[in-house]
Amino acid sequence: MPSHSLHAVCVALADLLQQKRWMLATAESCTGGMVAAACTDLAGSSAWFERGLVCYSNAAKTELLGVDPALIAQHGAVSEAVARAMAQGVLQRTPAQVALAVTGVAGPGGGSEAKPVGTVWFGWALPGHTWTEQHHFPGDRAAVRHAATLHALTLLEQRLRALL
């Protein structure tokens, strides 16, 4: 998708969050801060974007987000369980009302038969409500990371619009 689509999604998300006076916090692994960067590209984002954490290593997921190391050992860092724990962890550890988490295999290495390159798990959380989704994106590392960033923000905007 063109980059202006990412901008449009962020504008729509910003409008929704500001209507509710809610703040967003992110926990990113494979996107390496691209979600936070897309959000903060908008002027005035400090009104709705609280913080972004890049938790690339398993240790960072545990130390900064409270992800149980046993969960990572059992399911792997790229899993529904870890995406859910990342979203809940960032929500619990920040003053934000909305959380978004991304963990995946961007490539070109690191994939497996069970989790090929392009496999990404997403987690989103509001107080008392968490949902997850897995998606597989084609392309090289840059394409996977961009697509994951756009998908994470698009689905959050759609879900918030449906809830509000």
Q: Give the per-residue pLDDT at 155.
A: 97
Does this model's pTM top 0.85? My answer is yes
Q: Give the per-residue pLDDT at 4.
A: 63
CATH number, domain at 135?
3.90.950.20
Q: Give the per-residue pLDDT at 1.
A: 41
Query: What total number of domains does the chain contain?
Result: 1
Domain housing 11: 3-163
| 8 A C-beta contact, residue 57 and residue 69 | no
| 8 A C-beta contact, residue 31 and residue 145 | yes
Residues sharing a CB contact under 8 Å with residue 27, sequence separation 6 or more, in sequence order: 52, 53, 55, 61, 64, 65, 86, 87, 89, 90, 99, 100, 101, 102
Please report, in tens digits, the pLDDT of each residue of the chain (164 residues total): 445 699 999 999 999 999 999 999 999 999 999 999 999 999 999 999 999 999 999 999 999 999 999 999 999 999 999 999 999 999 999 999 999 999 999 999 998 989 999 999 999 999 999 999 999 999 999 999 999 999 999 999 999 999 87
Q: Give the per-residue pLDDT at 2.
A: 44
Residues sharing a CB contact under 8 Å with residue 83, sequence separation 6 or more, in sequence order: 101, 102, 103, 121, 122, 123, 132
DSSP category for residue 124? E
DSSP category for residue 128? T
